Amino acid sequence: MVAIKDFDVMIVGAGFGGMYMLYKLRQQGLKVRVLEAGDGVGGTWYWNRYPGARCDVESVQYSLQFDNDLEQEWNWSERYAAQPEILRYANHVADRFDLRSDIQFNSRVSSAKYNESDKNWCLTTQEGERFRAPFCVMALGCLSAPNHPKFDGAENFEGKIYHTGEWPHEGVDFTGQRVAVIGTGSSAIQSIPIIAKQAKKLTVFQRTANYAIPANNHSLGDEYIAEVKKTYKELRAYAKTMPTGVAFDFRDIAALESTDEERRAEYQKRWDRGGLSFLGGFKDLLFVKEANDTAAEFVREKIRSVVTDPEVADMLCPENIIGCKRLCVDIGYYQTYNLPHVKLVDVSKEPIQRITAKGVLAQGAETEVDAIVFATGFDAMTGALNRIKIEGRNGKQLKEKWHGGARSYLGLAVAGFPNLFTVTGPGSPSVLTNMLPSIEQHVEWIDRCIADLKAKGKMEIEAEVSAEDAWVDHVNETAELSLRSVCSSWYVGANVPGKARVFMPYIGGYPRYVAKCEDVVSKGYDGFQIS
């Protein structure tokens, strides 16, 4: 029998959420252990090492806020930081606060079971180690469970197969190779231009065209960094008043109340600036289809002006709502299709038939390749949680409860699973916001909750079914107000066969959500049963 190791709190995942959770709970004097599947910190930025991987939130805002010295000592090199730089930052955070001593690496959690008799969570790793604690915090990340497509014949492919979410840490050199990329989402849009520079021939298989806005990335000068550091407090405060938690320029002007010339001028200004603020030009773009059409057509015109082959340009022009899928930020994506060795294959009407020993069979033709890259995204928000056998009261499994769609109270807790917290879980703003302030807000709420329980001599907190139901209804009703809910996107789990289609993140905005969380606390943890 393997001995059980006892702690006050167990944390799963050593990304920014897990690390900050550890930092906060340590300050309470609690005995904490973090279990991490990889051999280093960083979470998403540890695993996602595909070519061109970078954040789509400006680096000076995609950073932790809880420590002023940390803010002041770190210097970002680019407007949009690439994965290696973000990973260096994560390691800097771990080292600065001596977090590694309480993180156990290479420890993938296979199960977590709540024992009602002693009010403890028991966690078991794939290696057979067992841990016990009254509280368990799942800090697994929203985009951490790669979505592996099932193609007939893939097991017989004679070349190499890669997934952007599980990229070899030593990197991949495609020089002189024939490469197929399946997918045209964010990771594909970032990686395709770089793969194209190496590959002898690149064939991209596209099911759904995606909108991409130029990043207009550039190095950050010393003067700019110094000025940001002087005004960090004001920048952070302003960002937290924005729906996305990002200091964007959101205009309170309707596109349909503006002239065509005014709209085009605003779109051009934001196109030249680059980045996700493109959709902040007019307040009705994500709520009124006719308004959205004006922005969508502007981007389609840009695509046609960049891509020289009209047939290819048409294939790259999305027909859906701009913004209902995550808007992508690119560096040279559309220009890549002007290269003579790059081919685009549309598989929207005739899906890929199978993977052969030599390549990809689509539309009756075989494309022979040396390597295949699955840029097929993630089983978002719920996938990582569902891959762990999580059992709450009466042996009820979380995966079973979520079979018809994710249900939670505030994205923080789940009815039937006492003392289990989820950092940026489904039902919270999470992926629709700047993730780092959303992570910090959740961690600080959980930390305060545990401290309050201990101060009152209480041992157990659990979301009430009625509160969970009401919150789920609110999340769904709010989603229906926005055009974001009308697309088959990973926001609703449409990229994962068999996954229930529910709009998972809370679309009501960061300030409104934070106010709700604070209201819950002020009312004695309204919606929770405490004992």
Tell me, yes or no, whether 96 and 242 share the same domain.
no
Domain residues for the domain of 442 are 4-146+379-459+514-526
* Cα separation, 486 vs 78, whole angstroms: 34
pTM, two decimals, is 0.96
At position 18, the amino acid (one-letter code) is G
Q: If you average pLDDT over residues 104-128, what whole number do you get?
A: 97
Any domain includes 238: yes
Confidence grade of residue 80 (pLDDT, cut at 50, 70, 90): very high
pLDDT at position 253 is 96
By three-state DSSP, how is residue 367 classified? strand
pLDDT at position 402 is 97
Confidence grade of residue 56 (pLDDT, cut at 50, 70, 90): very high
> Percent helix, strand, coil in the chain (nearest 5)?
35, 20, 45
Any domain includes 349: yes
Any domain includes 345: yes
Domain boundary among 374, 407, 431: 374
Any domain includes 339: yes
Total domains in the chain come to 2
Q: 426 and 239 in contact (C-beta within 8 Å)?
A: no
C-beta atoms surrounding 224 within 10 Å: 14
pLDDT at position 486 is 87
Any domain includes 338: yes
Per-residue pLDDT for 1 more than 90?
no
Tell me, yes or no, whether 289 and 361 share the same domain.
yes
Any domain includes 469: no
Q: pLDDT by residue (tens digit) across 343-369?
A: 999 999 999 999 999 999 999 999 999
Q: Which string of b and e fits 427-459 if b means at least 16 CB within 10 Å?
A: bbbbbbbbbbbbbbbbbebbbebbeebeeeeeb
* Cα separation, 75 vs 474, whole angstroms: 40
Tell me, yes or no, whether 265 and 166 share the same domain.
yes
Q: 378 and 353 in contact (C-beta within 8 Å)?
A: no
Tell me, yes or no, whether 345 and 416 share the same domain.
no
CATH code (residue 10): 3.50.50.60
Domain boundary among 342, 374, 406: 374
Q: What percent of the chain has pLDDT over 70?
A: 100
* Cα separation, 156 vs 230, whole angstroms: 58
Any domain includes 75: yes
Tell me, yes or no, whether 257 and 305 share the same domain.
yes
pLDDT at position 127 is 94
Tell me, yes or no, whether 112 and 247 share the same domain.
no
Token pair listed for 227: 């000025």
Q: pLDDT by residue (tens digit) across 145-175?
A: 999 999 999 999 999 999 999 999 999 999 9
At position 15, the amino acid (one-letter code) is G
Tell me, yes or no, whether 177 and 324 share the same domain.
yes
* Cα separation, 193 vs 54, whole angstroms: 13
Tell me, yes or no, whether 265 and 128 share the same domain.
no
Any domain includes 504: no
By three-state DSSP, how is residue 392 classified? coil
Tell me, yes or no, whether 419 and 522 share the same domain.
yes
Q: pLDDT by residue (tens digit) across 274-328?
A: 999 999 999 999 999 999 999 999 999 999 999 999 999 999 999 999 999 889 9
Tell me, yes or no, whether 31 and 74 share the same domain.
yes
pLDDT at position 488 is 86
Tell me, yes or no, whether 520 and 390 share the same domain.
yes
Sign of the four-CA dihedral 453, 236, 16, 23: negative
Tell me, yes or no, whether 142 and 235 share the same domain.
no
* Cα separation, 359 vs 159, whole angstroms: 8
Sign of the four-CA dihedral 371, 375, 378, 384: positive
Domain boundary among 316, 342, 374: 374
Average pLDDT, the chain: 96
At position 431, the amino acid (one-letter code) is V
Lowest mean pLDDT among 351-360, 420-429, 494-503, 506-515: 494-503
